Structure 1
Amino acid sequence: MEHTIHCDLREKLKEKFIFSNGVTNTDKLNLIDAIQRLGIGYQFENEIKDVIQYLDLISCRDYVDSDLHTCSLRFRLLREHGYKISEDIFKKFINHKGEFNTTIASDIKGMLSLYEATHFRLRGEDLLEKALIFTTSQFEAMLHNDLITKSCFVEQVKHALNQSIHKGLIRIEARNYISLYENDEMHDKLLLKFAKLDFNIMQKLHQRELGELTRWWKDLDLTNKFPFARDILVECYLWSIGIYFEPQYAYGRTIITMIKVLANGYMDEATWLHKSYIPTLEEYMNVAKITSAVEVMSIAFLLGMHSNLATKEGFEWMLSDPLIIQATSVIVRLVDDVTGFKFEQQREHVASAVECYMNQHDALEELATINLRKQITDAWKDINFECIRPTKVPMNILSRVMNMARYMDMMYKEEDGYTNSKTKAKDYITSILVSEVDV
């Protein structure tokens, strides 16, 4: 019954929104944004693709009179789908001193959209850098002085500053956005009901998969055979959902969760630990690119994809050390090191990137952290660049690689959520694998 209602609602939504006449381009932008943030973009891939392609063909001149929200949302959605669009569209919000007009600060909706757009910036896009600094500082001041009057905007601003749309995982962010969208008095009831049903249906599928994996894990009895091995099956499965949650990737999620790979690079790390050797940052990162296991995991998830994606060319590309793999490896390694530095030093552990930088440059921890965070920021810019058309492999593959970086941003932002599963990881697990959404 639930599946029947779900299918009926999907067809009604396609007819009501995607193919209906009289819908403005701004309405289409807002609709696509809502669909994607509700976590149901995969249900309307072709429809979204057609609309985005159409919106890309429209001249920027047609948006010259658009407000901040529309300009920013169009920029973000086009960049998200790999289309080239210049940061120059934001010049109309700049004053004669080259700074953003403070008058736009009162437009909270527009400011939020601009803030989210800045996370798609590339190297050298100074205007977007300026926009990020402007929106962040304005929001922090507003929150500190209680200047945002609408409670719904307060929640959105706080969440955005902690987790941008671009760096968030679909399932985690969808669960949060469903609540925000429901509280929006302008929400579409049909769309909301469909999103809730879809979330619960996918949750039931994931629960069945996790149940099967749990039986497999217990049969192996590795926890008793190797007491030092951490029982982190659920966390590993959460990682697999982060890479791809859609129903057609059940096999891929199983492969990723089950995979037990010890990268050759760990031998070098073990040698450094044994000799109490602190390598240079360059030495460390060369090995860390291996031990981050991004390339191995990328090959694993490609195995779980459809044959039109898991091609010989696709695997050769994976093994060619493309920029997006390099950048994701940097993020996976450095986010972990920067966040978990103090914790790791409490136990016998190979020197982290923070310690390597401090030792090599005779620098304090604060300076080392600042420089490493800049490397993380630049790595995200490289990921964004790799996703601009024309791409060497389909966007569906690139987005899965990017999801590994997103997982790290989500899980390690404030603490080591993977090692210490008693932290926010448990909340994430509960929200997407345990607690059903009320329909």
Structure 2
Amino acid sequence: MASMWASSSPFLFCSSSLSRRNIVTYNKRSSSPRSKLADVTSMETTIRRSANYSPSLWSYDYVQSLSNKYTGETYIARSRTLKEVVRVMIRNEIGEISPLSILNLVDDLQRLGVSYYFVNEISNVLENVYNNYYKNHEDWIKMDLNLKSLGFRLLRQHGYHIPQEIFKDVIDENGNVKGHFYEDVVGMLNLYEASYHSVEDESILDDARIFTEKYLKEIIEKMSDKNMLSLISHALAFPLHWIPPRVESMWFIELYETRLIGMNPEVLEFAKLDYNMVQAVHQEDLKYVSSWWKETRWEKFGFARDRIVENFMWSVAENYLPHFQGRGDLTKVNAMITTIDDVYDVYGTLQELEQFTNVMNSWDANAIKELPHYMQICFLAFSNAINEMSYNVLANESVFILPYFQKAWQDLSHSYIIEARWFSSGYTPTFEEFVNNAYMSIGIMPIIKHAYVLSLTSVSEDALKRIGRAENMMRSASLIVRLTNDMGTSSDELERGDVPKSIQCYMHESGATEVEAREYIKKLIMETWKKMNKERQAIVSEFPREFLDCVTNLARMGHFMYTDGDKHGKPDMFKPYALSLFVNPIKVEP
């Protein structure tokens, strides 16, 4: 899979290794399908692969029919009232003797998806907690395991450097959690979650993660508390640091409602109302991109995936906040990557792909006359969209940003053609060769480059140059999506006759079994997360929080979309999430 959305690889052309069920034959002088047998020996034909993608589950008319009642003044007024109730609640908690209650409230608000209303209040709270309880080493000894773990996670998440040594008295010399902490199940769960905020060379946190994971898997079989059972099962499947916030909110609201201790009815009502009101915003965004998708006519490309709803999910994961105006453009970027990836992976011949890459490099619409018709349509629709985005920035910000966007897409097409050449020659790259190209061909970099511009309050030449400071973080996020994608889709792609992915390249180079290769990739994903955590800490003061969250959320989407399969490529797998996120509001009972 050449890109994050790809499901087959560097392309297609005549090859005896291709499955007959995936071959469609076309006459060069005609765009209409012909008999396979009649064309097998004909020099006038091009044999093209077909990935046999499932059709979209979401028709244009259905998407346009989506509606949500939570846009009326009654709901807006009630939401305002509840928001102020919660704001007062945060201020009152600051006066508590123990910081645990306020940290629990902050954690709940984040997981419920409403903390964005209280950015300043939460910032003040955490600054106060840090100065009074976590800044001095001597204060750590007084803390119980739960307070240490929860505070560590939240403070690191918000840019505070809390050293791993806070847990030095928790882990013994053999890397095990000391026995007297075993009864604190909540503390052990929070220690497990905290360990995912580690950076490179933090052995205490590595030991904590390994031990607590084993502990939680064992204790879950004895757990009678259904709420705690759900929390532990969820954490083992998706550590909190690895799950997109909007997906977490969808799940956590339901769990919070069943909590016997610590559930606040007004907080719950506010979270439900806000979820539905934000869903209404997302529905309008989805209608807009659905109309754009229909107008491009790319949905009629039979070889490409029609995945506008799934591509919209990537944009929602990147930034779900209702005030964000860039989801439409980001969805366009996502959808264009999906289609262009299928041009390279599924449909174009090597000669056509070389020509298409040259046109991408020149960005010259006049050069498309040498391309086949489907590529002409593809390039014009794509370049028109990018030119329009560039025009909007130029008109509003007086900055000519087109070369910046062009470079992002040219780098992507360069990575695609490398994989296409590998496939054409039957070459199996080394693991290093694959990774050095595949972090780009997964398609995350162009998304981030566009998201960066859309997250800026003011676009400037200096701001565009500054993006280089985030290069390492962006590369780490891209690699995580690449590797999680390979873990979830490589078997299907190989069955279709795809180029080897990271798992197969590692097996080929090292002689490892598939089980061993997958274990190696899992460890590499963990190490890459550590690098990204460290890189984010290093640049946290230089970039908008929403941009840094966007990069992190893209890595999280790799886990969400590709754990246990391919939710992007297989519509039935994503359908339940789409219904909950974009169609069905949560029932609200004041």
After TM superposition, the score normalised by the length of structure 2 is: 0.71
Residues in 2 aligned to 1:238 and 1:170: alpha-carbon distance in whole angstroms? 12
Deviation (angstroms), 1:273: 1.2
- 1:81 paired with 2:231, answer no
Residues in 1 aligned to 2:172 and 2:442: alpha-carbon distance in whole angstroms? 44
Superposed CA offset, 1:97-133 (max 9, x none): 5531133222211111111101101111111111111
Unaligned ranges ≥5, structure 2: 1-73, 341-411
> Residues 92-131 of structure 1: matches in 2 within 5 Å?
92-95=169-172, 99-131=176-208
Query: SS at the partner of 1:47?
Result: helix
Of residues 122, 126, 141, the one that matches 2:218 is 141
- 1:249 paired with 2:324, answer yes
Of residues 227, 247, 270, the one that matches 2:420 is 270
2:124 corresponding residue in structure 1? 50
Deviation (angstroms), 1:13: 1.5
Residues in 1 aligned to 2:173 and 2:543: alpha-carbon distance in whole angstroms? 42
Of residues 193, 196, 208, the one that matches 2:272 is 196
Cα distance change on mapping 1:299 and 1:127 into 2, 3 Å: same
Deviation (angstroms), 1:223: 2.1
Of residues 550, 565, 571, the one that matches 1:400 is 550
- 1:6 paired with 2:79, answer yes
Residues in 2 aligned to 1:88 and 1:196: alpha-carbon distance in whole angstroms? 39
Unaligned ranges ≥5, structure 1: none
Query: SS at the partner of 1:92?
Result: coil
Deviation (angstroms), 1:342: 1.1
Residues in 2 aligned to 1:98 and 1:356: alpha-carbon distance in whole angstroms? 33
Residues in 1 aligned to 2:265 and 2:455: alpha-carbon distance in whole angstroms? 34
Query: SS at the partner of 1:247?
Result: coil
Of residues 227, 231, 235, the one that matches 2:310 is 235
Deviation (angstroms), 1:216: 1.9
Query: SS at the partner of 2:182?
Result: helix
1:35 corresponding residue in structure 2? 109
Cα distance change on mapping 1:319 and 1:198 into 2, 3 Å: same
- 1:284 paired with 2:284, answer no
Contact kept in structure 2, 1:100 and 1:131, CA below 8 Å: yes
Superposed CA offset, 1:191-237 (max 9, x none): 1111111000000110111112212222222222x211211000000
Query: SS at the partner of 1:199?
Result: helix
1:169 corresponding residue in structure 2? 244
1:302 corresponding residue in structure 2? 452
Of residues 510, 516, 519, the one that matches 1:370 is 519
> Residues 331-342 of structure 1: matches in 2 within 5 Å?
331-342=480-491
Query: SS at the partner of 1:42?
Result: helix
Residues in 2 aligned to 1:84 and 1:315: alpha-carbon distance in whole angstroms? 28
1:17 corresponding residue in structure 2? 90
Residues in 1 aligned to 2:267 and 2:484: alpha-carbon distance in whole angstroms? 36
Q: CA RMSD in A?
A: 1.8
Greater shift in the superposed pair: 396-405 or 199-208: 396-405
Superposed CA offset, 1:161-214 (max 9, x none): 001111111111011111111111221111111111100000011011111221
Residues in 1 aligned to 2:548 and 2:95: alpha-carbon distance in whole angstroms? 35
> Which structure is larger by alpha-carbon Rg, 1 or 2?
2
- 1:315 paired with 2:464, answer yes
Greater shift in the superposed pair: 366-375 or 14-23: 14-23
> Residues 353-368 of structure 1: matches in 2 within 5 Å?
353-368=502-517
Deviation (angstroms), 1:307: 2.0
Query: SS at the partner of 1:322?
Result: helix
Which amino acid is 1:405 matched to?
Answer: A
Question: Which aligned segments of 4 or more residues in structure 1 are displaced greater than 6 angstroms?
Answer: none
- 1:411 paired with 2:561, answer yes
Q: Structure 1 vs Structure 2: percent identity of aligned residues?
A: 31
Contact kept in structure 1, 2:175 and 2:207, CA below 8 Å: no
Count of residue correspondences:
433
Superposed CA offset, 1:271-306 (max 9, x none): 111111111111111211221222211111122224
Which amino acid is 1:292 matched to?
Answer: I
Which amino acid is 1:228 matched to?
Answer: F
